[in-house]
Amino acid sequence: MPFPFQQAAFILDKLMNHGFDAYIVGGAIRDHLLGRPIHDIDVATSAHPADVMSLFKRTIPIGIEHGTVAVLSGGQAYEVTTYRAESGYDDFRHPNQVSFDVSLDQDLMRRDFTINAFAMDRSGQVIDLFGGKADIMQKKIRTVGLAEERISEDPLRIMRGIRFASELCFTLGQKEVTAFRAKSDLLKHISVERINQEMNRLLAGKGVHQAIRILENTGCVHALPLLENVDLKKLYDVDFSFLQTSEERWSAFLIAVGLHDVHVFARAWKWSRESEKKVYELTTLYNALKRNPWTAESVYFAGLSNAFAANRLLAAFGILTNELLMQYDQQVHLLWQASTIHTRSDIAATGHHFIQWSETKPGPWLAKVINTLEKEIVNGRVTNDLGEIEAWFRKWQISQKKQS
């Protein structure tokens, strides 16, 4: 059997030449067996972090307390972790005790799911102690050992399990379903950042509908912040495959489950300011767009990328067919290209000009002028030319005086 991780072979070779054991472990083997792209390659070894750091030229101690050192080579970082066993998880997350100097078997035993508990030796032989290959064949997510026990140790495994179900289009084993249901409340002990990370990947998976069904059937969804009382049914009508970013997927999620206050949700889920802003903008645009088609003004204020994203949301909800989506995108393009300005800084006049022309001090009137002018230019009623803008401004001043 040829060794499929040639780029990491030098790590196993060097460790073994110095008398240590070394294997490829974890997700890389799972993804290799499934024919999926490999992201990162992890190594498990009997060598201690100090040995690893002395054997390789470029290393970073990224988690010494867990025994992990990154070995850098060819622009890649390989995580090399000393065999370890864990015991006691009183806080539902961090083991009370981590012990090194254990065997490969014990190291594999601490891993979450059978499909994540493979090791591969330098000859390409897969070590499969827990029936991971059979589970891959049956497309099953099963824990290593007793599901309830393994979930109680670390309830994040619930979210990881459902996320893998989504990404791989797998289902849960029966015992896992029962354990997830029985232990769903323990998710409240997991940091919302970790839950959010898993949800981002869950919503991006090909099997997202299947995963949502698991969240629903196990009741796990109700242990997540602000989702105590939501009904996920409407999510089955959303075609997530149209959506390209986490923010687009969360927008669809919130629209479908009827959670309207993006800011409250963003705070509870500790989103970044940028994500919060994006989801707010996209949900607002979606609602506006459901009522009115694109105009020069709405495209300008949305910006090109938000406009396309809003079109994708309409498609995800079945409001646009594929063909209509293309038409909407084309229309956005045309309106964008036809506009003589794309941002406020494209306006030929600046605040200074208006202050000069009016011989008045700056004040709230200035923002009002610029806001009005911006719309006039976008709608093609004023040309973006200094002379034309000055003429428009003179008239505007007169109309304001008449009003007051």
Q: Map the footprint of ligand ATP across residues 13-32, applying CB under 6 A.
A: 26-27
Contact 77, 174 (CB under 8 A): no
Binding site annotation covers 105? no
- Candidate ranges 98-106, 110-118, 313-321, 396-404; the one touching ligand ATP (CB under 6 A): 110-118
Rounded to the nearest angstrom, the gap between the alpha carbon of residue 126 and the centroid of all alpha carbons in its chain is 31
Angle between helices 208-217 and 156-168 (to 10 degrees): 150
Report the chain's terminal Cα–Cα distance, integer Å.
87
Instruction: Between 163 and 249, name the residue whose CB sits nearer to ligand ATP.
Output: 163
* Residue (163 or 278) nearer to Mg ion, CB: 163
Q: Report whether 121 belongs to an annotated binding site.
A: no
Q: Which of 126, 119, 98 is nearest to 21 (CA)?
A: 119
Q: Report what 140 binds from Mg ion, ligand ATP, none; CB cut-off 5-8 Å by kind.
A: none
67 binds, among Mg ion, ligand ATP, none (CB under 5 to 8 A by kind): none
Is residue 112 part of an annotated ligand binding site? no
Least Å distance, CB 221 to ligand ATP, is: 20
Minimum separation from the CB atom of position 28 to ligand ATP (A): 7
Taking CB under 5 A as the criterion, the residue among 4, 27, 131, 225 binding Mg ion is 27
Does 40 count as an annotated binding residue? yes
Q: Does 57 sit near ligand ATP (CB under 6 A)?
A: no
157 interacts with, out of ligand ATP, Mg ion, none, CB within 5 to 8 A per kind: ligand ATP
Per CB under 6 A, the list member of 116, 143, 246, 306 interacting with ligand ATP is 116
Residues in contact with ligand ATP, shown as a per-residue x/- string from 37 to 56 under the rule CB under 6 A:
--xx-x--------------
- Which of 32, 84, 111, 278 contacts ligand ATP by CB under 6 A? 111
Residues forming beta bridges with residue 87, ordered by sequence position: 97
For the bound state, the minimum distance from the C-beta of residue 137 to ligand ATP, rounded and expressed in Å, comes to 18
249 marked as part of a ligand binding site: no
Residues 332 and 322: their CA atoms lie apart, in Å, by: 15
Residue whose CB is less far from Mg ion, 150 or 201: 201
Q: Is 344 annotated as a binding residue?
A: no
Binding residues for CTP: 27, 30, 111, 154, 157, 160, 163
Binding residues for ATP: 27, 30, 111, 154, 157, 160, 163
Q: Which residues bind ligand ATP (CB under 6 A)?
A: 26-27, 39-40, 42, 111-112, 116-117, 154, 156-157, 160
Binding residues for Mg(2+): 40, 42
